Structure 1
Amino acid sequence: MNRTLPKKIHIIGSVGSGKTTLAKELSAKLAIPYHELDNVVWKRCKTGDIRRTVEEREDFLSVIIMSDSWIIEGVHTEAWVANNIKHAEIIIFLDTSYKVRIYRIFKRFILQKLKMEQAHYKPTFEIFLKMIKWNRYFEEVEKPNFFTQYEDYWDKFLIVSNKEELNCLFELDKK
């Protein structure tokens, strides 16, 4: 890659699009910490998750955004993420096919139920069904709204639909 690698990266995509996997890979490759927006919304406690107040969430996210480098990933498109969209050097939109995302949601649920994959939440059938529903809603509503809402940052967008496109960009397969 000829240009300087970004130090502030926002990754967005639907449930099962590969956001967390990509964030972890880029974090290791670029030596930049990654943050899940779900962990900005929720305080993770052994006794159960507690939703942060709007003020707590905004303060927590501001601290991350003001650091020298970060990778922030999440499905969230609401106004509260606008500041990290604004400060990102690159916005990677994972436009993974709907069928691939459905497959990954099924696979994730099974692996979590078999305790072969960890989750920040209790993997119930209800959550599984919600993920299927959220995936459809993201495809039909959130995705088009996101592009309209953040069209002022179009020059920072990178829309990718598969791993090969990302490998070429970030040379992920090379050590």
Structure 2
Amino acid sequence: MSVPSRILVYGVYGAGKSTLAERLAERLELPWYPVDDLLWQPGWVEVPVALQRSRIEEICRRDRWILDGAYHGWRDVPLARADLVVGLDYPRWLSFWRLLRRTARRLSTGERVCNGNRESWRSVLARDSILVWHVTAFGRARRRMRAWQADQSGPPVLLFDSPVALDRWLAGLPTRGSVDGQTAQP
């Protein structure tokens, strides 16, 4: 497999999609477009789905990109253009633990995320909190990644069931500046 230039990183909330996308962007010198920045306006106001789709279409027309997620209103767009899908298919307990740890850190530090938004106790305890979304979306995300992997008509899909397996794969990728003319074996 050639070194990919259009990568979709996928997984359930808290699995580490953004962290992986950032690492891949640095290692492969590809532009990374954090999906949450494209979906949320200040005040946690969701961008209308039609505008989300338009933004994603504009990015995916480019020759080089990394996206750290794909949602219902436009999931087909990056899948149609991706050279590679990297799926974080970690056990539920691991991704939920990571999400809890990240949420606690953001609450305690007031860390700003996606367009200056901050997590709050109110958002964490709400019926539509990210923690609830994790629980309800986990099975669907897992089934979706596995279906993509089985579908030979789509882009290649690498599924990683542990951070150790992912780190082994990352260690085999070319480093910054050595990508041209090299190949990576997934």
TM-score (norm 2): 0.77
What residue ranges of structure 1 are gaps of 5+ in the alignment?
none
Return the alpha-carbon distance in structure 1 between the equivalents of residues 135 and 88 of structure 2: 15
CA spacing shift, 1:173–1:144, aligned 2, 3 Å: closer
| Displacement after TM superposition at 1:124 (Å) | 1.9
Distance 2:23 2:172 in 1: 7
Matched, 1:127 2:130: no
Tell me the residue number matched to 1:17: 15
* AA matched with 1:162: S
Pairwise CA distance, 1:155:
5.5
User: What is the aligned-residue identity percentage?
Assistant: 19
Say if 2:57 is the partner of 1:62.
yes
Higher helix share: 1
Query: Structure 2 CA distance, aligned partners of 1:168 and 1:72?
Result: 21
Q: What SS class does the counterpart of residue 85 from structure 2 fall into?
A: strand
One-letter amino acid of the structure 1 residue matched with residue 88 of structure 2: L
Q: Is the 8 A contact 1:93 1:158 kept in 2?
A: yes
Find the aligned partners of 2:153 and 2:137 in 1 and give their Cα distance: 20
Q: Give the Cα–Cα distance (whole angstroms) in 1 for the partners of residues 77 and 166 of structure 2.
A: 25
How many residues are aligned here? 169
- Structure 2 regions of 5+ residues with no counterpart? 176-186
Q: Pairwise CA RMSD of aligned residues? A: 2.6
Question: Residues 107 and 121 of structure 2 are in contact (CA less than 8 Å); yes or no, is this contact kept in structure 1?
Answer: no
Aligned twin of 1:159 = 159
Map 1:104-143 onto structure 2 (within 5 A): 104-115=98-109, 117-120=111-114, 121-129=117-125, 130-143=129-142
Task: Tell me what 1:99 maps to.
Answer: 93
The yes-or-no answer on 1:42 pairing with 2:36 is no
| Residues 80-125 of structure 1: per-residue CA shift (max 9 Å, x gap) | 1201011101111101111112211221122112217443332123
- Which one of 37, 44, 52 corresponds to residue 47 of structure 2? 52
Distance in 2 (alpha carbons) for counterparts of 1:21 and 1:165: 15
Q: Does the C-alpha gap of structure 1 residues 124 and 49 become closer, same or farther in structure 2, counting only changes over 3 Å?
A: closer
- One-letter code of the match for 1:9? I
Runs of 4+ in 1 over 3 A off after TM superposition: 145-155, 172-175
Contact 1:108/1:117, CA 8 A, preserved across alignment: no
